[in-house]
A and B are shown apart, each in its own frame.
Chain A
Amino acid sequence: MSAGGPGGPDVRATGGRGPAARRRGTDARLAFAIQAGALGAVLLAWHAATAGRWVSPLILPELPALARTFAALIREPETYHHVGVTAREFGAAMLIALGAGLLVGVPAGMSRYLGDLIEPLLLALYAIPIVMAFPLCILFLGIGSASKVAFAGLYAFFPVAIHAFKGLRHVDQGLVRAAVSMGAGRRLLLIRVLLPAALPVILTGVRLGAVLGLLSVVAGEMLGGLEGVGQMLARTVEALQSAEAFAWILVTLIMVMLVGGTLSWLERRLGEAR
């Protein structure tokens, strides 16, 4: 059952193919052509520079060599060991960031007093380059996975906490008033009104935190670690194996795009449902 019945009041939901939709379609195709063109131009310049030996293959690999190395890399079981290490570190970091971020952001968003207390602190801390905490993480937690988890968890915590706080604070007060008038207590108000209403904003924070978190894990592995995609990237660069290094960059990019893309898609789906 939907609102499309006889005399249905609204066709927006059906996403009609009106003139406006067609115009949007053309714009999107044009934008895509420009984007693809720009990417093609960069690859062409890359190819020209390396094939013509203007740039040493020690620094920039030839594209066919990169393609071969990447194809070999993704067939190598060892690769998935490193991807798995990074993914596990990222997953643990996100669990910490989500848990701590919601634990701080949700109460701060629900109580005006707590929010006024916590918001300046959060924003001030977020403005500090958190990279500075990395040597401390190594010092406290060693060179293994724990230091990466802590570092990335710290990085991802801030967007999650700040967005949870803002999302909850700016929930339509009319909805809150209506729920309270119908008898909603604090618990039902939180799970049935505040969290669902703030969910799109919270998800934006999670997406920002996740992308930052994954990059932080990789950066942490690069700066000092034993395994993981970041460490492999750092090692291959040091060994001047440029094709291998760029293949690891590709692997990392794919991971970032998977995480960011999935969360963007979720965000859009949620936005459309409203």
Chain B
Amino acid sequence: MIEFHEVGVVYPGEQGLDDVEALRDVTLGVRQGEFLALLGPSGCGKSTLLGLAAGLRRPTTGDVRVGGATMARPRPETIAVVFQDYSLFPWRTVVGNIEAGLEFQGVARGARRERAMRYLRMVGLDGFAAAVPRQLSGGMKQRVAIARALALETPILLMDEPFGALDEQTRMVLGEEVSQIFARTDKTILLVTHSLAEAIFLSDRIAVMSGRPGRIRETIEVPAGHPRTPDFMTSAAFHELRDYLFRLLHDEMRASVLRQDRALARDRA
């Protein structure tokens, strides 16, 4: 469904600085109906990869295809995105935010309100339809952002660290809710995260990325069906996988920090 083929991204360096190679030779496929988590240390280019899949940027080399067609621009009828910073319009009400998304996507005026309310109910916020984002907690804002993306009724959903700004408790509760919601959809989902537990709890498969330039280091299947309950988090399989990922990422984070140190030392010399 989503295919990255030998993708490389290089950002031109600003004001005399070297170019930054964010991604190198990334080849990865997300199968139809699959929930895939991109896991990696910060700065490994995982959000860049998601931006490519969203059509918000183009690769320097290689090819990104969705449903067989090369991504050149956003395709709102196929792909919806949930951003880390919620990106809610502060001057619109909660329901107005979801309606705005439907208007952008081209849904007829008459159908917007009913559909927006349906998805607000799904995330349990129909009582807050007339509130403005400022009045909501972080977790509620993220649920609105998720409802806005779901309301677009796209076959593909991309999520960029959707729970990144939330506290541990809210993350867990919201993660469970999301797991329940996604178990009922047949969406293809790509989740960017740096949380091991989140990746294991939510996804079917985890692609572990290495630091700059970002590459896919390993992909690992999560041996459990959906929906998952909190019991899964205390199971032996969960812990085994968590330990394995921890060792993998721990080495990766060390390597990435050492790389940065070496680069700084080289610049000094």
Contact = CB atoms under 8 A, between A and B. Distances in A.
Given A192-B104, A196-B91, A181 B81 contact: yes
A13 B137 contact: no
A181 B135 contact: no
Contacts of A3: 128, 131, 135-136
B134 A181 contact: no
Contact of A184 (B81, B90, B104, B134): B104
Interface residues of B, number: 34
Given A196-B91, A273-B132, A179 B104 contact: yes
A198 to B, nearest CB: 11
A9 B104 contact: no
B104 A10 contact: no
Nearest to A179: B104
Interface in A150-198: 172, 174-175, 177-184, 188, 192-193, 196-197
Given A3-B131, A192-B100, A182 B80 contact: yes
A174 B87 contact: yes
Given A174-B83, A182-B101, A196-B89, A1 B127 contact: yes
Contacts of B106: 183
A168 to B, nearest CB: 15
Contacts of B128: 1, 3, 5
B224 interface: no
B69 interface: no
Contacts of B76: 181-183
Contacts of A13: 134-135
A179 B137 CA distance: 22
A78 to B, nearest CB: 45
B152 A182 contact: yes
A180 B87 CA distance: 12
A3 B81 CA distance: 26
Nearest to B105: A183
A188 B103 contact: yes
Contact of A10 (B77, B81, B137): B137
Contact of A274 (B55, B81, B85, B134): B134
B91 A274 contact: yes
B175 interface: no
A159 B59 CA distance: 41
Contacts of A175: 87, 89
Given A188-B103, A274-B90, A2 B74 contact: no
A196 B91 CA distance: 7
A85 to B, nearest CB: 38
Contact of B137 (A9, A174, A182): A9
Interface string B31-70: 0000000000000000000000011100000000000000
B9 interface: no
A266 to B, nearest CB: 14
B156 to A, nearest CB: 12
B71 to A, nearest CB: 12
A177 to B, nearest CB: 6
A13 to B, nearest CB: 5
Contact of A2 (B81, B131, B140, B148): B131
Residue in A12, A181, A197 with the greatest tally of chain B CB atoms within 10 Å: A181
A56 to B, nearest CB: 56
A192 B102 CA distance: 12
A129 to B, nearest CB: 36
Interface string B78-100: 01110101010111000000001
Interface string A110-130: 000000000000000000000
B129 interface: yes
B181 interface: no
Contact of A178 (B83, B134, B135, B140): B83
A15 B5 CA distance: 54
Interface string A1-22: 1110100111011000000000
B173 interface: no
Contact of A183 (B90, B104, B129): B104
Interface string B116-158: 0000000000011111101111001000000010001000000
B134 A9 contact: no
A181 B56 contact: yes
Enumerate the 6 nearest inter-chain pairs by beta-carbon distance, A residue then B residue, closest first.
A183-B76, A3-B135, A178-B87, A3-B131, A182-B104, A1-B130
29 contacts: A1-B128, A2-B130, A3-B128, A8-B135, A9-B135, A9-B136, A9-B137, A10-B134, A10-B135, A12-B134, A13-B135, A174-B85, A177-B56, A177-B87, A178-B83, A180-B56, A180-B74, A181-B54, A181-B55, A181-B74, A182-B76, A182-B105, A182-B152, A183-B105, A184-B104, A188-B103, A192-B100, A273-B132, A274-B91
